[in-house]
A and B are shown apart, each in its own frame.
Chain A
Amino acid sequence: MRYLPKSPADREAMLKAIGLGSVNELFAPIPAEYRLNRDLKVPRQMAESEIVDYFRQRSRENGEGYTSFLGAGAYSHYRPVIIDSLISRGEFLTAYTPYQAEISQGTLQSIFEFQTMIGELTGMEVANASMYDGSTAAAEAVMMAVRLTGRRSVLVARSLHPEYREVLATYATHQGMPLSVAGFGDDGRLNLAELEKSITPATACLLIQSPNFLGAIEDVAAIAEIAHQHGAMLVVSIAEAVSLGVVEPPREADVIAMEAQSFGVPMGFGGPFCGVIATREKYVRQMPGRLVGQTVDKQGRRGFVLTLATREQHIRREKATSNICTNQALVALMVNIFMTVYGKVGLRELAKQNLAKTAYAAGQFAQHGKVLFAASPRFNEFVVETREDPYALNSRLLRHKLIGGLPLKTFYPELGNAALWCCTELTTRSAIDTAVGLVAEGENSARPARAEADVAEVTR
């Protein structure tokens, strides 16, 4: 086997040194009746060229060459070439968690820079070294708020990514954390009157997303005021990190749970991504996940270490803030390099291009379908309601190698035939025009009666 660096003679010599006659004697501790005396039924050993061919074939069966208008928590942005050049260096790729600080300064310093930039962009004082993804970061941020407030109820915006809501529900099941949902209004933003009614003295926190799942930017200041009046914390989830280039961050939040995939991480069919939690300094001891801190060595030179480990599972075991151990270090490095490449000016210019493409697309769609929640400020997603069933529409688009917006009826039955469309800096005007043309074709021939029947099918 080509990954194994031993000759038969090496193995012989080693067995002899140990005083054994055969390799099988090493497995004597395993009771004989359980030993596997056959080959595993897995694919036969393949040459490297065959492996590459296999995955190229799978790639061709996986939307290769299609232009997509999907967002909804996974965004297509340009990835500067140097991201992969740098993360492919074996010293980053094949290093372990930086517990041995003296020979891990590269990873540690880069995480320190990551924490700094996330702090700058989110307007928070401290950020951790990463979480699994945006959905689990949101759930962990909520649990953090529950610990900090000593309250247990959680209020969740319906305009939070529906799968994030599902993840939170799973995490909350056995934590004695009752969840309730606050709806959105006609403008696609959190309904503040409903919020006022739903929030109680038992509410530990309110979890919202901004820009929210429907693309609308929430009025975070007003929401924070209501939450804080009731002694609840405000946790804000950010799923589209590029928005931070031009959208004011939710500075009034107490905790921000972010998905940083937009910053240079491939969509990769949904993972690995890069969650992050950012918060105020006073809450740091209740924060889950790894943290890097600056310190000095014996000679007084600046260096970095993993710190505040007394929050973590390997020290505190069942009393830890979370069971999280592995994080997303290499993905955080991609994010770090992306943030460094675009920097202070580039991130803003990039975000402005997203804004321009979306404004153009929404304007074009509005001529043939109905763009919902149009009065609210939005970043790069918008909801289009058509008379045609969105699945039927998307089937027509697929024939033109276009992937249309995400039909919303499973997540939001009340929105009928609406779909969530997304544009980024990579979306071309000609793709937008083609898609709009195809939508127009459908709108001119579709029978409105279909919508009713489809809503009834919804089960989730």
Chain B
Amino acid sequence: MKHETPKATRHVNQNEGLIFEKSSAGKAAWKLPPLDVPEVDPAKLLGAAQRKDLGNMPEVSEIEIIRHFTRLSTWNYAIDLGMYPLGSCTMKYNPRVNEAVARVEGIANGHPYQPEEISQGALKILQTLSECLIEITGMDAITMQPAAGAHGEMTGLLMVRAHHHAQGRPRKKVLIPDSAHGTNPATAAMVDYAVENLKSDSRGMVDIAALEAQMSEDVAALMLTNPNTLGVFEQEIHKIADILHAKGGLLYMDGANMNALVGKVRPGDFGVDLMHLNLHKTFSTPHGGGGPGSGPVAIKKKLEPFLPTPVLITKSNGTLGFDYHRPQSVGRVRAFYGNFGMFVRALAYIQANGPDGLRETTEDAVLNANYIRKGLEGTYDLPYSTPTMHEVVFSDKLQAKKGVRTMDIAKRLIDYGFHPYTTAFPLIVPGALMIEPTESESKEEMDLFIDAMKSIAAEVEEDPQTVLDAPHSTRVSRLDETAAARKPVLRWKPAV
């Protein structure tokens, strides 16, 4: 590369094949204790159901497994290595005490069906976290059962449906702004609602006049992300809520961007009827390469009868337990009680912060996004000049003149030691560069990022090909995704 980057240095990393390519008969990484009961003959016990061969499962030793996965790990970028400016993903620091407490014996090994009298520890965690999240969102009740944000959306819309059904007026459609995440319309379809698009105005906010025109007694809810995916707070949120409520509709908030609000403003106070949270975004549980998530849904009182079963309650003797008898419930959305291990981590995060830390976190997240906006304004096109909250969206308009698009710039950022920002989203900004630094970045790290982005913009002018061919420093170059999709190879097979 042309410029030496102060953020990253190239260094040797190890090649590593697939685990199956290291396997040979007789190697083993396991040892079972001797049986303390009589041996059995599987053929006798299972008859025709006995399995005789496990196919191409590997046979390797322990050191090989350690090296295999350690080598693989070094091919990943991670928050622990540096800034991860993915917009709407909230890639914040994942505190290690969260991991430690999730592994304490009674918490890690608790069985979901163990008697309630010896489950009070887990139930107390569930109750305390629920209370914290209700307070943070300004809502009245919560279900912790949904396993991820999209699952929370589904649970929320099921409650919306149940509410309208109870009112005796089932409705047909859900309004979704054109800036919304793809999960919103996909979820509406799963709950059998027709999706009606709602356009944004010139400031990137909900077009109030359009909303007024589209709102009818057929509209069950508006699914609104606030701040929206442009990082813009819906300043007329009270009008939006009023328009919906006047015709009996509900305001659903996608809480993906809650990191901009915690401790500063509460959705329950500005008219939201129900919302999901992503514990893996706002509340620091690790993304883990794509999960596990957790998507609790907080609701206003009027939706309480419809919560999924079971619901946590305090029993007459003062102990905690579950209530399974909820005649108006939407039912269960997952076996057991949700991704409990993520609740433990989220509560540890809230405890580490306290009210002051949570507020400061939000302030730093918004400060960081505005600092980056200031640093890159002029170098990259800013399609909406509306004030920025926790993320900022630029476009590749200036660079596109040289044939360089947002994905190319993103790939070049890798050579500078950063993970790319979110590309080509939200859909209302052609060639979007969506940047969310989170509160976890120091001024130094952000200065490096701003310098890298400026340097790339300069390269686009002087030598666009370098940017178009990026990344240059990774172990593999751009991969052929078309070939992968045309003739999918989805598993390893032994050579014949």
A residues contacting the other copy or chain, number (CB 8 A)? 201
Contact A347 B54 (CB under 8 A): yes
Contact B186 A296 (CB under 8 A): no
Contact B42 A340 (CB under 8 A): no
Contact B118 A106 (CB under 8 A): no
The reply to whether the CB of B321 lies closer than 8 angstroms to some CB of chain A is no
Interchain CB contact (< 8 A) of B481 among A87, A91, A305, A339:
A305
Interchain CB contact (< 8 A) of A101 among B237, B479, B483:
B479
Contact A269 B107 (CB under 8 A): yes
Contact B481 A328 (CB under 8 A): no
Contact B62 A91 (CB under 8 A): no
User: Nearest Cβ distance between residue A289 and chain B, in whole angstroms?
Assistant: 10
The reply to whether the CB of B80 lies closer than 8 angstroms to some CB of chain A is yes
Interchain CB contact (< 8 A) of A293 among B35, B115, B484:
B484
With A and B bound together, what is the CA distance between A5 and B89 in angstroms? 20
Contact B474 A29 (CB under 8 A): no
Contact B357 A174 (CB under 8 A): no
Interface string of A167-196 (1 = CB under 8 A from B): 101110111100000000000000000000
The reply to whether the CB of B177 lies closer than 8 angstroms to some CB of chain A is no
The reply to whether the CB of A13 lies closer than 8 angstroms to some CB of chain B is yes
The reply to whether the CB of A40 lies closer than 8 angstroms to some CB of chain B is yes
Instruction: Point out the residues of chain A lying under 8 angstroms from B32, CB to CB.
Output: 346, 349-350, 353, 425
The reply to whether the CB of A457 lies closer than 8 angstroms to some CB of chain B is no
Contact B332 A163 (CB under 8 A): yes
The reply to whether the CB of B342 lies closer than 8 angstroms to some CB of chain A is yes
User: Nearest Cβ distance between residue A164 and chain B, in whole angstroms?
Assistant: 6
The reply to whether the CB of B149 lies closer than 8 angstroms to some CB of chain A is yes
With A and B bound together, what is the CA distance between A91 and B419 in angstroms? 13
The reply to whether the CB of A80 lies closer than 8 angstroms to some CB of chain B is yes
Contact A133 B76 (CB under 8 A): no
With A and B bound together, what is the CA distance between A331 and B289 in angstroms? 10
User: Would you list which residues of chain A between 111 and 137 have a CB under 8 Å from chain B?
Assistant: 112-113, 115-117, 119-121, 123, 125-127, 129-130, 132-136
Contact B489 A294 (CB under 8 A): yes
Q: Known: A42-B135, A94-B78, A271-B336. Is A23-B363 also a contact (CB below 8 A)?
A: yes
Q: Known: A28-B387, A323-B154, A350-B32. Is A266-B109 also a contact (CB below 8 A)?
A: yes
User: Nearest Cβ distance between residue B459 and chain A, in whole angstroms?
Assistant: 18
Instruction: Point out the residues of chain B lying under 8 angstroms from A130, CB to CB.
Output: 291
The reply to whether the CB of A416 lies closer than 8 angstroms to some CB of chain B is no
Instruction: Point out the residues of chain A lying under 8 angstroms from B142, CB to CB.
Output: none
Interchain CB contact (< 8 A) of A96 among B89, B387, B483:
B89
User: Nearest Cβ distance between residue A3 and chain B, in whole angstroms?
Assistant: 5
The residue of chain A having its C-beta at the shortest distance from the C-beta of B232 within the complex is A29
Interchain CB contact (< 8 A) of B40 among A62, A312, A355:
A355
Name, among A31, A98, A432, the residue most crowded by chain B CB atoms within 10 Å (CB to CB). A31
Contact B95 A3 (CB under 8 A): yes
Instruction: Point out the residues of chain A lying under 8 angstroms from B332, CB to CB.
Output: 135, 163, 166-167, 169-170
The reply to whether the CB of A246 lies closer than 8 angstroms to some CB of chain B is yes
Q: Known: A3-B361, A45-B352. Is A345-B59 also a contact (CB below 8 A)?
A: yes
Contact A340 B60 (CB under 8 A): yes
Contact A270 B340 (CB under 8 A): yes
The reply to whether the CB of B265 lies closer than 8 angstroms to some CB of chain A is yes
User: Would you list which residues of chain A between 334 and 367 have a CB under 8 Å from chain B?
Assistant: 337, 339-350, 352-353, 355-357, 359-360
The reply to whether the CB of A453 lies closer than 8 angstroms to some CB of chain B is no
User: Nearest Cβ distance between residue A236 and chain B, in whole angstroms?
Assistant: 13
The residue of chain A having its C-beta at the shortest distance from the C-beta of B485 within the complex is A307
With A and B bound together, what is the CA distance between A297 and B99 in angstroms? 36
Interchain CB contact (< 8 A) of B113 among A72, A100, A290, A430:
A72
Contact A10 B443 (CB under 8 A): yes
Instruction: Point out the residues of chain B lying under 8 angstroms from A327, CB to CB.
Output: 148, 290-292
User: Would you list which residues of chain B between 52 and 69 have a CB under 8 Å from chain A?
Assistant: 54-60, 62, 65-66, 68-69
With A and B bound together, what is the CA distance between A119 and B483 in angstroms? 22
Q: Known: A74-B336, A341-B65. Is A296-B480 also a contact (CB below 8 A)?
A: yes
With A and B bound together, what is the CA distance between A2 and B354 in angstroms? 11
User: Nearest Cβ distance between residue A97 and chain B, in whole angstroms?
Assistant: 4
- In the complex, 24 of the A-B residue pairs with CB atoms within 8 angstroms, ordered by the A residue number, are A34-B237, A36-B266, A40-B358, A42-B355, A45-B353, A54-B351, A63-B119, A87-B288, A91-B76, A93-B80, A116-B20, A117-B58, A120-B54, A129-B290, A167-B333, A247-B46, A271-B336, A320-B189, A327-B148, A328-B291, A347-B54, A357-B35, A377-B46, A377-B49
Contacts A42-B355, A59-B105 aside, 17 further interface pairs with beta carbons under 8 A come to A3-B352, A31-B235, A40-B135, A46-B354, A57-B121, A76-B111, A104-B77, A170-B332, A173-B158, A272-B291, A298-B477, A307-B488, A317-B185, A323-B154, A326-B293, A353-B32, A357-B35
Among all A-B residue pairs, the 4 with the closest Cβ atoms: A330-B288, A270-B336, A45-B354, A90-B80
